[in-house]
Structure 1
Amino acid sequence: MKKTVFFFLSLLLIIGFGSCGIGINKYKPVENPVQKRFSTVDIEALIQDSTLNVRALEVVDSIGFAYLTSNGELGAYYNKELNFPKELLEAFPVAITYDTITPNFRALAVTAEKGYGISIGSPALLFSLDVDVDKNKVVYQENHPKAFYDSMDFWNDQEGIAIGDPTDNCMSVIITRDGGNTWNKLSCDDLPQAKEGEAAFAASDTNISIVGENTWVATGGKASRILYSPDKGYTWQVFETPIIQGLETTGMYSIDFYDELNGFAIGGDYTKADANIKNKIRTTDGGKTWTVVSDGAGPGYRSCVQYVPNSQAKQLVAIGFKGIDYSSDAGNSWTHLSDEGFYTLRFLNDSVAYAAGNGRISKLTFK
């Protein structure tokens, strides 16, 4: 989706940059794409801090990236070539609190003008974010003892979605239609009924994948299925998957769609991280049916998978605390590139990505 640099402008409290895209539009057709194939990855640590724990990360085009931490901090990194004033660079990280609560953030989403983050646990707190501490405000709060939100994203600058574990007999889904100012929770009458033990994982903020008006939500746990909406969350249906499931720690942890038909999901069981049976699945019909790929081979548990931009749905990178893996054939086979562990990944372009995890955020250059 198209976003502008206005989010960073609001964080920086400056005006006058104009606009550009956030991230890269991997869905836009590229004429005569060059199919790069990777065999190595260079890892450059950009931010290092032993207290840092990041699962929520968003790239802002060539400007840099924004992130949220498990100890309630809003951070940002800027391309040093842009020569931002020192006082702006030193403004981050910003500590966010609510009453006596320090939010544990696992999800971040940005629009053209604002950033939004939601915390796990109860009370669930969805913040409208700003570098000015006094302007950070809670725009949605849920006090149910079972409240636990895992991921969020936006279809456009006005309409967004966050998903979480069931508090009743369906997954929790909240939606905004006014640019994030107000959020409303969908009734279970409008959603597929959850199975016993079905929930989601707040592992990498990649439980939701959006292409146009199409939305796919990956659930996990004792049941691991796809919730699908063709119309930006107005109507929903559910698709079964063959991924490993049956325990609270099994199922899909991450999903990504390259276009309206081609998608990939990865997960497994983080308590048995080397196990690679039935933990990677692929669809070519928009999520209606899924096939297990690379069964018993390739990576075990991984918390995040992303398509390489401009790769025609052929190239994937999977990442987790056990390392970084790459596929050039839509997930049929994999190359292990590094043992260095991360939680989540976002591509800047078709050879550079940012990865975040425990203690650091790094730049990954694939070659």
Structure 2
Amino acid sequence: MTTGAVWLATWLAQGSAGMQWEPQASGTTVRLRGVSAVDGRVAWASGDKGTVVRTTDGGATWTRAPVPDAEALDFRDVDAFSDRTAYVLSIGAGDRSRIYKTTDGGAHWTLQFTNTRPGAFFNGMAFWDERHGVAFSDPVDGHFVVITTEDGGATWKPVPEGALPAALAGEAGFAASGTSIAVHGTSHVWFGLGGSVARVLHSADRGKTWSVAPTPLATGEGAGVFSLYFWSPMAGIAVGGDYKQPEVKTGTAALTLDGAGRRWTVPEKGLGGYRSCVAPLTREKKPWLIAVGPTGSDVSKDSGRTWEPLDRAGFHAVSTPPRTRDTAWAVGEEGRIAKLRLTDAAPAPKPEPP
């Protein structure tokens, strides 16, 4: 390694603004794609081979919460509400798309939904509260497939096809982190798409009526919107890009500030490449954003207008506690789990290059 490369690696390893990823022992080596932080001590993660793990001590220990007869399933999404209650969603064609729920910390699971519609492939779910949720699938025969629950998942009902805009040829969703669907408040929901176009659909009434808008994110077979986060009904961010070209920085992020995602614009300074998940973060008593992907992570201190690199470690998903947003967990390949350590000390000054 050259002297210049050593200097750069040292600087990058310091993290951004007093932040650093600290690896944790997950107890598994499978690919993890879903993560849900409840608070500073409780978090759940999910992934391939029916894997679900949970921590209740801030990540000092992670324990398995096995789902019966699910070894062949890939749990791309987990939404947790406490150390006891969590939902997981598996992806795949046909009956591989399922939703399970536990109310006793993973000791027992209830199968709540199994897809029976030919051609459907569910990508993610989101919840307004513990009883009210929504999930979406790739289009089938030119129609989007959306289901909702109002009773804690005991029943999931399809949204009538006529309520949704028509799907375009070559349009599909992505299940990289289970976060290409997002909710806000008690009724707003958005989900993002890719392929031939990179659009975002929005409903302000829990799926009864919908609108749709294009975004400037990359398009193509492996490109589009991979993750969404809205901090108000008026403002939000979409991240993604082309997962087949993860180093490409263009077409990886877009902002909407005009209400419900009708118009999307490109940030002034963008992400370091394709990113599969974005989440809010409270730092220095201000709202920040953090985005992760296979080539690294980035942070924004100004609601997504400008971004700076945090670390080169690759992750698939990131989550922060909904009430405090003061820490983050990220998950990735080979059972990788890391917790973001926030320090009060001022960041080390950037060293002068040799």
Q: TM-score range by the shorter chain?
A: 0.7 to 0.9
| C-alpha contact 2:200 2:212 (8 A) present in aligned 1 | yes
Which amino acid in structure 2 is aligned with residue 341 of structure 1? G
Percentage identity across aligned positions? 31
Cα deviation 1:252-310 (Å, max 9, x = unaligned): 11111111212111111011111112221101112111101246x54110101122237
| Structure 1 residue corresponding to 2:53, chosen from 54, 61, 75 | 75
2:227 is equivalent to residue 243 of structure 1: no
* Structure 1 residue 77 displacement after superposition: 0.8
| Structure 1 residue corresponding to 2:77, chosen from 81, 99, 107 | 107
Aligned residue number for residue 282 of structure 1:
255
Supply the distance in 1 between the matched residues of 2:284 and 2:192 (Cα, whole angstroms).
23
What secondary structure does 1:189 align onto?
helix
| C-alpha contact 1:219 1:225 (8 A) present in aligned 2 | yes
Which amino acid in structure 2 is aligned with residue 108 of structure 1? V
| C-alpha contact 2:102 2:108 (8 A) present in aligned 1 | yes
Cα deviation 1:9-68 (Å, max 9, x = unaligned): xxxxxxxxxxxxxxxxxxxxxxxxxxxx94343221222456232111111223311122
| C-alpha contact 2:174 2:193 (8 A) present in aligned 1 | yes
Count the aligned residue pairs. Answer: 321
CA, structure 1 residues 110+338, in 2 after alignment: closer, same or farther (shift >3 Å)? closer
CA, structure 1 residues 195+313, in 2 after alignment: closer, same or farther (shift >3 Å)? farther
| C-alpha contact 1:217 1:227 (8 A) present in aligned 2 | yes
| Structure 1 residue corresponding to 2:168, chosen from 192, 195, 218 | 195
| C-alpha contact 2:192 2:227 (8 A) present in aligned 1 | yes
CA, structure 1 residues 164+311, in 2 after alignment: closer, same or farther (shift >3 Å)? farther
Instruction: Within 5 Å, give how 1:24-63 maps onto structure 2.
Output: 38-49=16-27, 51-63=29-41
* Structure 1 residue 138 displacement after superposition: 1.7
What secondary structure does 1:194 align onto?
coil
Aligned residue number for residue 328 of structure 2:
353
Instruction: Within 5 Å, give how 1:89-108 maps onto structure 2.
Output: 92-98=63-69, 102-108=72-78
* Structure 1 residue 329 displacement after superposition: 2.7
2:245 is equivalent to residue 272 of structure 1: yes
Q: Which moved more, 1:313-322 or 1:337-346?
A: 313-322
2:316 is equivalent to residue 343 of structure 1: yes
* Structure 1 residue 174 displacement after superposition: 0.9
Q: Which moved more, 1:198-207 or 1:43-52?
A: 43-52
Gaps of 5+ in 1: 1-36, 84-88
- TM-score normalised to the size of structure 1? 0.80
Supply the distance in 1 between the matched residues of 2:81 and 2:342 (Cα, whole angstroms).
28
CA, structure 1 residues 129+350, in 2 after alignment: closer, same or farther (shift >3 Å)? closer
| C-alpha contact 2:281 2:328 (8 A) present in aligned 1 | no
2:92 is equivalent to residue 118 of structure 1: no
RMSD: 2.7
Which amino acid in structure 1 is aligned with residue 328 of structure 2? A
Cα deviation 1:220-264 (Å, max 9, x = unaligned): 22221111111122221111222221x121111111111121211
- TM-score normalised to the size of structure 2? 0.82
Cα deviation 1:195-235 (Å, max 9, x = unaligned): 11111111112112211121111112222111111112222
